[in-house]
Chain A
């Protein structure tokens, strides 16, 4: 990254749940935005520009909802961009806000990502708005099976991730699913949805919003606990073609390679203290550990199996509970970005990873073909 890194100076999350019937869509996005402004010690007038991200508009049935949400977010007279990059959109939105600040024009940009899935039928929407949708799990299950076959991973790995993330979520006040009594056996015995993915290995459908305030380096320096955005990266590839590696897509490999290079990371496993990875189905934890060179090929599941990815482990993954515990789709990627920022700020509360200084946020989308990632750090120059 050229120039001095921008910083995240405000973070706001809503309570995630199956249906936030207590708020309208404007109420939901304001809840996150106001918390981000309060966290930053700012008011609406301090914001120079806005970026909004969400997944398909058909989820709620409102076309380009940023237009009507301009009123609720104090956007009158300001620039407002609307990002949509499928499931990776939340992290892409944070990245676009970071780019807007780095472009030199703005001091403070408010980025808001959200989804209010209870307003519609996400499963139907994920199938392209057509009937007979096999859902995201139906698309990913064969690739999970391919990973298992390729790596020789034992079947309990997926169950283990499901238990870990749900127990982490118990420590996160914003998390949707709270399953303190979850066990390996319960996951194993839960309904098989898309072989090998059981019900308890799948993400929920959530309502929720996440907001961040990104500031240019000079402005962020005046803030007591900025999380510095050392680097961001986005990569996309074709969804299907002969020879495509759907288990470890090249776009994901390239995305993290570019990210690490930009951030000055040469040994990601050693230099990154905690990762918030987009894991909507349990097996994606080992798959992304390998897919983003955080573990050697065939070794991702061993890292998971060893307990290294627990909050107290050597390489904690998803201390927030991750997408497996809260999944307002359009916001999920920004939640990864924001939780990575909270970790390096030391403000993650009960799910804080001790001594976290460098963290990554990650999201992917569509046919595992869109990737967005970011590196957050407690220091603007940690390496």
Chain B
């Protein structure tokens, strides 16, 4: 295996609605990542991005963003209609071929142009689910209800997760929602979709992020403490919620196994749980004990730029290694509804 590390990253603060275009957003974050890595963009061997046309409400929405990365002279480039964490997976895979040593990954998502309650139902099976008008909040509520019924968690657990994430986010300049919240006060709030209250839902965000990946000695030469990717894997579960046990996440567990989580403990886990009950499910799937610091950034409950949230988890995990001196951390990303598709990445301070 070719050793690969995160050597540069950039993100913009998540906001409810930005006035700037996605191209401008990408310009900002890719400049940050490239500057941190200290590389010349012409040395990048492959560029890969993640985004979703349906958020922009426009076909080929990603095409304009190659202006931000200066695709001239022509570049080797690809795009996934997925969260940037999966774009990073493709970049990691491409580096395994050994003929290039630098990859730029970026992603962008603006939820503000559309109405999420109208957009997200289109992500469901168009024959059997979408016609029901099942929105993501209702689906997450069904998942939460199943979790409560299974005895795995309580509504107080959900509120505590919200309070902890948003308290953590107070120290995160990129977060959108943060602050001190009293658990009893949260539990006194009305339901939005029973048993979910508004704070159990993620904020609606616009955002963008980028990372630079480097291979082997190149990575070691660029930054003092690269965040080495010791393992990365992703899996998908069945789509039909009626066919799944919504209280567990087999694809997260499989991805964690594939990424080598079992080889040792992690100190920090940055997980993507846009709805508070999902943090319980992801934690259990990953088998994290109480010694693991979960979401020091505040996670998806503090900022949820869809198509970007997963790569932000990777960035926040890499930051723990590169800036905080942690030795082994985990990043988790999710896609689809009710945690259907999941990615796990392990980052380490030492090269394998």
* Chain A residues engaging chain B, CB cutoff 8 angstroms: 2-3, 24-25, 55-71, 75-86, 92, 96, 99-100, 102-105, 125-130, 233-239, 241, 249-251, 254-255, 258, 366-367, 369-370
Contact = CB atoms under 8 A, between A and B. Distances in A.
A250 B73 contact: yes
Given A103-B97, A236-B71, A237-B71, A128 B236 contact: no
Contacts of B293: none
The 7 A-B pairs at the shortest CB distance, nearest first, are namely A251-B74, A56-B59, A103-B96, A236-B77, A237-B74, A68-B125, A63-B54
A80 B52 CA distance: 16
Contacts of B99: 2
A68 B126 contact: yes
A80 B236 CA distance: 7
Interface string B109-146: 00000000001101111110110000000000000000
Given A62-B126, A67-B123, A254-B73, 10 more contacts: A68-B129, A77-B237, A79-B236, A83-B78, A84-B80, A234-B78, A236-B76, A238-B66, A366-B63, A370-B63
B80 to A, nearest CB: 6
B239 interface: yes
A238 B65 CA distance: 9
Nearest to A65: B126
B96 A77 contact: no
A79 B233 contact: yes
Contacts of B236: 67, 70, 75-80
Given A67-B335, A76-B237, A100 B93 contact: yes
A66 to B, nearest CB: 8
A68 B60 CA distance: 21
A63 B123 contact: yes
A79 B126 contact: no
B79 interface: yes
A325 to B, nearest CB: 24
20 contacts: A55-B59, A60-B126, A64-B335, A65-B126, A67-B123, A71-B240, A77-B235, A77-B254, A82-B86, A96-B90, A103-B93, A104-B1, A104-B96, A125-B59, A236-B66, A236-B76, A237-B71, A249-B74, A254-B73, A369-B63
Contacts of A65: 126
Contacts of A62: 122-123, 126, 130
A64 B336 contact: yes
Contact of B72 (A103, A104, A233, A238): A238
B53 interface: yes
A61 B122 contact: yes
Interface of B: 1, 52-54, 57-60, 62-64, 66-67, 71-82, 86, 89-90, 93-94, 96-99, 119-120, 122-127, 129-130, 233-240, 243, 250-251, 254, 335-337, 340-341
A53 B86 CA distance: 14
A92 B239 contact: no
A81 B90 contact: yes
B77 A68 contact: no
A123 B39 CA distance: 42
A58 B59 contact: yes
A70 B59 contact: no
Nearest to B243: A71
Contact of B60 (A3, A56, A236): A56
Given A57-B81, A79-B234, A128 B60 contact: yes
Contact of B97 (A58, A86, A102): A102
Nearest to B244: A76
Given A86-B63, A237-B72, A251-B74, A64 B89 contact: no
B79 A85 contact: yes
B250 A77 contact: yes
Nearest to A372: B78
Contact of B52 (A63, A255, A370): A63
Given A68-B126, A70-B238, A83-B78, A99 B71 contact: no
Contacts of A241: 72
Nearest to B120: A63
B235 A79 contact: yes
Contacts of B77: 85, 234-236, 370
Contacts of A249: 74
B81 A64 contact: yes
A84 B77 CA distance: 11
B118 to A, nearest CB: 11
Contacts of A55: 59
Contacts of A234: 76-78
Contacts of B76: 233-236, 258
A128 B78 contact: no
Contacts of B1: 104
Contact of A56 (B53, B71, B238): B53
